[in-house]
Structure 1
Amino acid sequence: MKKLSKKELATHRLEQQINLFQCPICHEKMKTGDGKLTCPNRHMFDLAKQGYINMVQQSKKTQYDQSLFEARQRLTQSGFYRELILAIESLLQSRDTEFLLDAGCGEGSHLAQILDKIDHQFGVGVDIAKEGIQTAAKAYESGQWIVGDLANTPFTDKAFDVILNILSPSNYQEFTRLLKDDGIVMKVVPGPEYLKELREQVFAGTDQEGYSNEETVARFKQFFTIKHRKQVYDEVALTEDQFQNLIQMTPLTQDVDLSRLRFVDSITLDLEILVGEK
């Protein structure tokens, strides 16, 4: 039997789950056909041959390029965030989750690893960075990948059982619209010791050497009732390749000469998962 192309696989998924989608321009329901998503007002979005859809009216240049997303994908695939993925999977195992959204999915590795372990879920990854979505679509067939604006996502009201937001910007008004009445938002935020060995090098002697997530947590509480908080803490051994991928992908080093950073063979993974309900 001929293997389906990524575009054919994505078309099949969209046909099955078309009720999740609405036009980001006029908010009408969508239909699929001829490799496109269209609405009654003839707004049209093409399915790329890699299987993703760009549903942003005007492309928005982000500060992140292809090399950053590829480095992040290599690091995540190497198991760097293994304890985080296991913790998320554990929290999801007790739920009957059909539709899962990774909001700000980047290059898709977190969502892909979760979908590999949790059965019977339709997973969607959305990100404003086209380079990230292209990287995700190239590597993974398990999710549906969308270039979309978190302030105006192309999904219907109350579409998702679970919204993941992992180390990424949020739009809580939109999350509230998208979440089912009995759904949950799982937001992953850095803890005070997250990547402290790298932070000590980059921000030595400045206020940024330390970190607090209190403001982020307080903002989350304005929109959602926190039902559970889970810390993920690990000392992760690093190879030279992993270290290079880490310093290429983290926003901590955005304005830093990477050549001056000293290799460390172990780094602290300190994260907290906030589980919130409407």
Structure 2
Amino acid sequence: MKKLSKKELAMNRIEKHIDLFQCPVCHETMSADDSKLTCQNRHMFDLAKQGYINMVQQSKKTQYDQSLFEARQRLIQSGFYNQLMIQIESLLQSRNTDFLLDAGCGEGSHLAQILDTVDHQLGVGVDIAKEGIQTAAKTYENAQWIVGDLANTPFTDKAFDAIINILSPSNYQEFTRLIKDSGIVIKVVPGPNYLKELREQIFAGTNQEGYSNEETVARFKQFFHLTHRENVYDEVTLTEGQFHDLIQMTPLTQGIDLSSINFVEPITLDLEILVGKK
């Protein structure tokens, strides 16, 4: 039997779950045929040959390029965030996760790993950065990848059983619309010692050398009832190549000459997982 292309696999997946999609322009229902999604007002979105869909009307330039996402993918695949993944998967495995959204999925590695261990009907990764979605679609076939705006996602109300948002900006109004009444939102935020070895080099002697996530947690609690909060702590030894991937992909080094950052080990992984319900 002929192996289906990524585009054919994606089309089959979308046709099966077309009721989850709505037009991001006029919010009408959509139909899927001839390798595109179309609403009744004739707004049309083509499926790329790699299997992703760009559902942003006007392309938005981000500060992230292809090399950053490739570095992020290599670092995640090396196991840097394995302890985080173990804890998220444990939280999801006791729940209904038929429809799972990774909001701000980047290059897709977190969602792809979760979908390998958690029962589901459909996993969707959305990010505004086309370069990230292209990298995800090139590597992973177990999810539907979409270029989309988190402030205006192309999905119907109450479409998802779980939304995950890992070290990424959020739009809580949209998350509230998208999550089922019985669903959960899982947000991962840095802890006070996250990547402290980099902070000590980059922000030495400034007020940015320390970090508190309490303002971020307080905002999450404005929109969701915080049902669970747990810490992820690990000290990870990296090779010099992995360290270079880390400093290339983290926002901490934006605008910094990477050659000025000295290799150090181990690196502190200090994160908090917030679980919220409506």
User: What TM-score comes out, normalization by structure 2 length?
Assistant: 0.99
Give me the whole-angstrom Cα distance separating, in 2, the residues matched to 1:242 and 1:117.
25
Q: How does 1:1-40 map onto structure 2 within 5 Å?
A: 1-40=1-40
Q: Which amino acid aligns with 2:251?
A: P
In the TM superposition, 1:210-225 aligns within 5 A as 210-225=210-225
Corresponding residue of 2:154 = 154
CA distance in 2, matches of 1:41, 1:147: 21
Residue number in structure 1 paired with 2:129:
129
The answer on whether the counterparts of 1:20 and 1:155 sit within 8 Å (CA) in structure 2 is: yes
In the aligned structure 2, how far is the partner of 1:51 from the partner of 1:97? 23
Alignment coverage as a number of residue pairs: 278
Contact 2:98/2:119 (8 A) holds in 1 = no
Tell whether the 8 Å contact from 2:105 to 2:111 is kept in structure 1 after alignment: yes
- Tell me if structure 2 keeps the 8 A contact 1:128–1:149: yes
Match of 1:272 in 2: 272
> Match of 1:83?
83
> Partner of 2:180 in structure 1?
180
Deviations 1:227-256, CA, capped at 9 Å, x for gaps? 000110000111111101000000000111
Q: 1:206 Cα shift?
A: 0.5
Structure 2 spans left out of the alignment, 5+ residues: none
Q: Which amino acid aligns with 1:273?
A: I
CA RMSD of aligned residues (A): 0.6
Match of 1:197 in 2: 197
Give the SS at the match of 2:256. Answer: coil
| Runs (5+) with no aligned partner, structure 1 | none
Match of 2:236 in 1: 236
CA contact (8 A) 2:183 2:277 kept: yes
Aligned-pair distance for 1:71?
Answer: 0.3
What amino acid sits opposite 1:12 in the alignment?
N
Equivalent residues of 2:97, 2:119 under 8 A apart: no
Corresponding residue of 2:50: 50
Q: Find the aligned partners of 1:8 and 1:190 in 2 and give their Cα distance.
A: 38
Tell whether the 8 Å contact from 1:115 to 1:121 is kept in structure 2 after alignment: no
CA contact (8 A) 2:103 2:150 kept: yes
Map of 2:71 onto structure 1: 71
Q: Deviations over 1:26-69 (max 9, x none)?
A: 00011100000000000000000000000000000001111100
Q: Is the 8 A contact 2:93 2:119 kept in 1?
A: no
CA distance in 1, matches of 2:40, 2:217: 41
Cα shift readout 1:165-203 (whole Å, capped 9, x = no counterpart): 000000000000000001000000000000000110111
Partners in 2 of 1:255 and 1:120 — Cα distance?
Answer: 40
1-structure distance, mates of 2:4, 2:89: 29
Instruction: Give a deviation string over 1:115-169, Cα, whole Å, max 9, x none.
Output: 0111234100000000000010000001100000000000000000000000000
Q: Secondary structure at the match of 1:209?
A: coil
CA distance in 2 between partners of 1:133 and 1:82 (Å) = 22
* Contact residue 232 and residue 270 of structure 1 kept, 8 A: yes
Which contiguous aligned blocks of 4+ residues in structure 1 show a shift greater than 3 angstroms? none
Show CA shifts across 1:71-119 (max 9, x none).
0000001100000000000000110210000000000000000001112
Report what 1:96 is aligned to. Answer: 96
Amino acid of the residue matched to residue 262 of structure 2? R
Q: TM-score, normalised by structure 1?
A: 0.99
Question: How many angstroms apart in 1 are the aligned matches of 2:158 and 2:96?
Answer: 15
By how many angstroms is 1:265 displaced?
A: 2.2
Deviates more, 1:113-122 or 1:199-208: 113-122
